[in-house]
Amino acid sequence: MIFVAAAWIMLLLAGGGFALDRVLTSAVTKNFDDQLEYLLNSMMVSAEIGPDGEVMFNRPLGDQRFLEPYSGLYWQVSGQGYEPFPSRSLWDRLLKTDRAHQDMRVHAYDSNQFADQKLRVVERDLKLPGSEVLWRFQVAQDRETLDAQIAAMRRTIVRSFLLLGLGLIFMATLQTWYGLIPLRKLRIAIARLRAGELTRIEGDMPGEVAPMVEELNALVAHNDRQAEEARRHAGNLAHALKTPLTVIMNAASAQSGELSETVVREARTMRRQVDHHLARARAVGRRGSSHSRCDIGAAVDAVERAVSRLYPHVRIDADASEGLIGHIERQDLEEILGNLVENAAKYGGGSVFVTARADSGFVEILVEDDGPGIAEADRQRLFERGVRLDTGKPGTGLGLAIVRDVAEIYEGSASLEESEDLGGLLVRLRLPAAG
């Protein structure tokens, strides 16, 4: 930031200095030319034709330098067919006259005709009364004074603009350093946060930085919740596996004749627990993704086709509103929706109806069947891991537990009700709608 600011400052000052130099140089040069033009006008006003046709002045020119040889101030009058009439200051020199053009107005230019002096010349052509000759009046002056003024002016501009540039760069550096103090404080706070000295970033921050601090604190809180959730579920899994392992070890130590049956039974229990926690872990890992968006209608259609192939004798009707987008990974939605539709097909009476609609910032999915339903006292108990009301059909008892856990991970919910249309069970799944 400082380098870019310094580069722009120097570039703009260089451009401004160049423009100012052009303006002031033009003004100083014009003032110099105006003085020479004044002398030129004085010559023309006092000039007249003598008896021999030569030019003469009816009064002497006022500047003493016209009389001093090589003084740096000269005049000359020249005409076609006549020898030039020079000032005494020219001594043995003459000013060059270009007859290729006529100067009916004052013409100013630089001349290097003298090796030891650079001249500034103003000239004009004029016909004097009583003469048909076009006379050229010229006044020339050494540029030394003009060049000295321009050089002094340029030194002043360069020094002033250099000092201004250094001051601006210093102020830009100070502003940048001061403006980045909150970020340096934030970096120190993040380092202390990583070292475990802080639990969140606190303190007053400028309005430009405060939203970032809020997002960082929210991220830290989110990571803390995930870590705590991971620790809790790791503990739950360890506790869930500890009992079956203890039963197996006790049976093995006692050399029980039912060891094989015990191992198979307890292994099924451990497998259910592992499957449940793996499904939950996958959902937790995908929850924070900003790409967690799913087309509800497409997911409902995919699940309907898959379950229809498994249960061809069951009629499954699906009705999803157009454009429903849920904040959930499609893999997770298809997994929990597959559990619900498959349960409805397995335990229902042959008809399943799935509807999806928008409801106040949420996507609501209803799965209904025409089965015997579930008593209200047993509905909440079904969400517990391993609980099954019908043990005559294969299953692990984890379907509804996984549905509830994954829905809650995405800040949704799942509940069991009675279907008014089909008379069986209604599962109401609510998930946040994606903006």
Residue 350 has pLDDT above 80, yes or no: yes
> Mean pLDDT, to the nearest integer, of 208-235?
81
172 Cβ contact list (under 8 Å, min separation 6):
2, 5, 6, 9
The four Cα atoms 261, 342, 369, 273 give a dihedral, to 10 degrees, of 50
Find where tokens 């120190």 sit.
188
pLDDT for residue 205 is more than 80: no
- Name the pLDDT band for 329 (thresholds 50, 70, 90): confident
Q: Do 276 and 385 touch, CB atoms closer than 8 A?
A: yes
Q: Which of 4-18, 168-182, 293-307, 391-405 has the lowest mean pLDDT?
A: 391-405
Give how far Cα 90 sits from Cα of 143, 174, 245, 380, Å.
16, 61, 124, 121
Q: At which residue do the structure tokens 């160049």 appear?
A: 18
Where do the domains of the chain lie? 2-150, 210-287, 294-432
State what percent of residues in the chain have pLDDT above 70: 89
Radius of gyration of the chain (CA): 51
pTM of the model: 0.51
Least confident of 284-293, 334-343, 376-385: 284-293
* Contact of 431 with 363, CB cutoff 8 Å: yes
Nearest to 274 by CA among 393, 398, 388: 398
Q: What is the pLDDT of residue 257?
A: 72
Q: How sure is the predictor about 384, in pLDDT bands with cuts at 50, 70 and 90?
A: low
Distances (CA, A) of 32 to 41, 83, 144, 155: 15, 29, 11, 19
Q: Give the pLDDT band (50/70/90) at residue 145.
A: very high
Q: Is the pLDDT reported for residue 395 higher than 50? A: no
Could you tell me where the beta strands, DSSP code E, fall in 131-230?
A: 134-142
DSSP 8-state class, residue 376 = H
Please check the confidence at residue 24 and state whether its pLDDT lies above 70: yes
Across the chain, mean pLDDT equals 84
Tell me the pLDDT tens digit for each residue of 263-293: 887 887 777 667 766 766 666 655 554 457 8
Cα distances (Å, whole numbers) of residue 162 to 14, 121, 354: 9, 35, 78
Distance CA 79, CA 17 (A): 45
Q: How far apart are CA 145 and CA 151, in angstroms?
A: 10
Residue 381 CA to residue 91 CA, distance in Å, equals 127
Burial class (CB in 10 A: 0-12, 13-18, 19+), 263: middle
The per-residue pLDDT for 166 is 94
Class of domain 294-432: alpha beta
Confidence of residue 383 (pLDDT cuts 50, 70, 90): low
Reported confidence tier of residue 188, pLDDT bands at 50, 70, 90: confident
* Alpha carbons 422 and 359: distance in angstroms, whole number: 22
Please report the pLDDT score of residue 284 as a whole number.
61
Binned at pLDDT 50, 70 and 90, residue 429 comes out as very high
- For position 236, what pLDDT does the model report? 67
φ/ψ (deg, to 5) at 268: -60, -45
Token pair listed for 198? 């802080």
Fold of 2-150: Beta-Lactamase (3.30.450)
388 burial type by CB count under 10 A (0-12 exposed, 13-18 middle, 19+ buried): middle
pLDDT of residue 271: 79
Residue 75: band (very low, low, confident or very high) from pLDDT cuts 50, 70, 90: very high
pLDDT above 70: residue 39: yes
For residues 169-186, average pLDDT: 88
Question: Which of 109-113, 313-317, 377-381 shows the lowest per-residue confidence on average (mean pLDDT)?
Answer: 377-381
**pLDDT for the residue numbered 387:** 46
